[in-house]
Amino acid sequence: MEYPNLLPRFLKYVKVNSRSDEHSDRFPSTEREENFQKNVIMKDLEDLGLSDIHYNQKAGSVIAEIPSNVDYDVPVMGFLAHSDTADFNSENVKPQIHENYDGKSKIQLGDSEFYLDPKVFPHLKNYKGQTIITASGDTLLGGDDKCGVSELITFAEYLMNHPEVKHGKIRLAFTPDEEIGTGAEHFDVKDFGADFAFTVDGEAPGKLDWGTFSAAQFSLDIQGVNVHPAVAKGQMINAVQVGIDFHNQLPEHDRPEHTDGREGFFHLMSFNGTVDNAHLDYIIRDFERDGLEERKNLVKSIVDKMNAEFGTERIKLKMWDQYYNMADELKKHMDIVDLARDAYKAEGLKINEDPVRGGTDGSQLTYMGLPCPNIFAGEENMHGRYEYTVLESMYKAVDVMIQMAELNAERAK
């Protein structure tokens, strides 16, 4: 089905800079996120006539309700989308609309030197005859997750205008700071009031995510000894070299650029330093909790061995868990996954349940007592200038949510 307000709504949203900031010490991490939520999203929800629209300051989230239109109890279903965008230029986004794509040509990003090339991005070939939306080459698009934000509000608009579609109470949330991994930990599950939920933050139509990595992060602070290189023998300890020596003791294959499928990895995110001191940031990923612990223990053992060789704690390690594979919990709630599967099938979609090589807000929410798989939103090539979405994919996401609302009510009879 086509939804005439979806595209203009999406174009309006992506032009608003709502990028989060991992270096901020406020919550939500940026004022611009909060302004987008309060001044744009809330106003649009109010214009649609939804109920219980409010901003939960503790959660940094806009909450709203689509009232039930049936006279019997239905489990309360929720949908969430995050309002922030990723760590790439988000100022002055100029969305470009490419109608009736031929499935084979390069797509120029605005007037820039950059192109979407189907030889580089073969998924483009799946969208022959459809409408591709890109940015202009110097910013991201922001479809992650303004696709989801636009779809949720379009879904609400449709249900409010079509009372013949029978459904129970549905709760909506628009959350902050997903891109920096800190938004979900503040989420107010009680205020949200759903029995289960779905994040709308996935890729191509048919993608259904209920398994993710388990994740940890660690940092190393290395104190070196800086002396003049002319007299360095036996005295200098080059902190940069110590960082290199540490890194070279991790399994060479277990890096993102060498792994796929269910393979985990160690990922060096940043390395800054001088002879005197150095700082390294890593993330660790594994689909199995035991595998995550083994990787964490390997890091600890390398640090301990190197410090023993130095005879002092020259390398200081900080390590913490980020989230766990939500499949371990969602296996107890497969009726929720089945609800999404049945909606996908009703819309003629081929279901792709490959586990996510990453995490979603649902990873944390599921362990907070809100079972929360992730459904597709039509985002492609996220987090950079090559990001795009497909209008027909966004339509299909709304179709699926409507199906889910109807199925959830039917099953409660």
Residues contributing to the annotated binding site for Zn(2+): 82, 144, 179, 201, 383
178 catalytic residue (yes or no):
yes
What phi and psi, each to the nearest 5 degrees, are found at residue 197? -155, 170
Q: Considering 44, 178, 379, 387, which one is annotated as catalytic?
A: 178
Residue among 402, 377, 380, 363 at smallest CA distance from 146:
377
Residue among 200, 95, 208, 210 at smallest CA distance from 156:
200
354 catalytic residue (yes or no):
no
Q: Considering 84, 203, 209, 361, which one is annotated as catalytic?
A: 84
Q: What angle do CA 262, 297, 245 make, to 5 degrees?
A: 95
Q: Is 335 helix (H, G, I), strand (E, B) or coil?
A: helix
Residue 133, H or E segment: strand 132-134
Token pair for residue 387?
A: 């990001």
Q: What angle do CA 254, 260, 263 make, to 5 degrees?
A: 50
- At residue 381, what is the residue type? N
> What CA–CA distance (Å, rounded) separates 140 from 135?
6
Annotated binding site: 82, 144, 179, 201, 383
Burial class (CB in 10 A: 0-12, 13-18, 19+), 201: buried
Asked whether 402 and 229 are in contact (CB, 8 A), the reply is no
What phi and psi, each to the nearest 5 degrees, are found at residue 320? -150, 150
> What CA–CA distance (Å, rounded) separates 82 from 215?
20
* DSSP codes of every residue in 132-152: EEE--SSS---HHHHHHHHHH
Q: Is 331 helix (H, G, I), strand (E, B) or coil?
A: helix
Residue whose tokens read 């089945």: 338
* Active site positions, annotated: 84, 178
